[in-house]
Structure 1
Amino acid sequence: MHLLLEWLALPQFGLGTVFVVSFVSATLLPLGSEPAVFGLIKLNPDLFWPAVMVATLGNTLGGGVSWWIGLAAHKAVDRARGYHKDARAIAWLRRFGAKACLMSWLPVVGDPLCAVAGWLQLPFWPCLAYMAVGKFLRYLVMTTVLLHMMPGQVAL
């Protein structure tokens, strides 16, 4: 396992791996990207900002895919029902609009939130922008906190 982690942390593989893991983890698949980001940065401290940015990009694009999945699911359900109906449980989300996508960084509920934004047909580009801000802040704070909790030769 250690050899695999070292191989994935090589700069020529590490950032690509971070992107793929971050992208996939932003879909509804149960996968976390934080260990990949932290591992790469811990072994390659000079990749702090590139890793945070690549993880943010991958996770945001994955959130965008979830948005489109939600939109497609909504249209399919509407066609099957023959009419349009929103659940009351997500009415509060409609009130907040695209700004609710700032919360896409939250564990468990964040990724489905992106799909619900698509379901509600909230505007794609504003949703994607709010997702990017929330996800960037998550990676920045999470990685910084972990590096300070597990100090070593890493200097920001």
Structure 2
Amino acid sequence: MLLLSLFFSAFISASIFPFASEVVFIAALDEGLNPVIVLAVGTLGNTLGALLTWWLARLAREGKLGFKAKPSSAKASAFYNRFGKWTLLFSWVPLIGDAFPGLAGWFKLPFWQTILLVAVAKCGRYLVLMAAYFAW
């Protein structure tokens, strides 16, 4: 049950809704669950939540969400043109990181590039959290 809670907390925290999955992640480790499984579940949930943001932004750009999306701002375009897909490696950063998959979806970054870069970032974040937990 704790792994299911971890998956959903990680998913929600990486989507457009604010939430912190770190508490559930640490609780799962504290319960003695297999760290590899905890890492995999957290990474999967967090990655899929980011992909939801990517997909919604892509649909919004194409006008498939029932409203007409505004064109991208000059600042967003300049930022994405400068840093592009590599911003996804910072999708783990609290508060601002959730916007990067949205930008990738808006600017139509391919799905496989998105999932690979986001998964690396999310896994890295949980690895650092896990290392800190075991070092403590």
Shift of 1:55: 0.4
CA contact (8 A) 1:99 1:127 kept: no
Letter in 1 for 2:86: K
Question: Rg: which structure is higher?
Answer: 1
**Superposition map of 1:60-79 within 5 A:** 60-76=47-63
CA contact (8 A) 2:60 2:68 kept: no
Counterpart in the other structure of 1:16: 4
TM norm structure 1: 0.78
CA contact (8 A) 1:98 1:123 kept: no
Counterpart in the other structure of 2:88: 101
**Residue deviations 1:83-111, cap 9 Å, x none?**
x8431222222333222211101000111
Shift of 1:28: 1.1
Q: Does 1:116 align with 2:103?
A: yes
**Aligned pair partner of 2:73 in 84, 87, 105:** 87
Distance 1:94 1:55 in 2: 30
Distance 1:123 1:95 in 2: 17
Counterpart in the other structure of 1:37: 25
**Aligned pair partner of 1:142 in 125, 129, 133:** 129
Number of residue pairs matched? 133
Letter in 2 for 1:109: I
Counterpart in the other structure of 2:116: 129
**Residue deviations 1:7-28, cap 9 Å, x none?**
xxxxxx1211111111111101
Distance 2:71 2:102 in 1: 16
Letter in 2 for 1:25: S
**Residue deviations 1:20-78, cap 9 Å, x none?**
1111111011101111010110121x42111011100110011111101111222229x
Letter in 2 for 1:22: A
Letter in 2 for 1:36: V
Shift of 1:125: 1.2
TM norm structure 2: 0.88
The alignment yields a C-alpha RMSD, in angstroms, of 1.9
Letter in 2 for 1:74: R
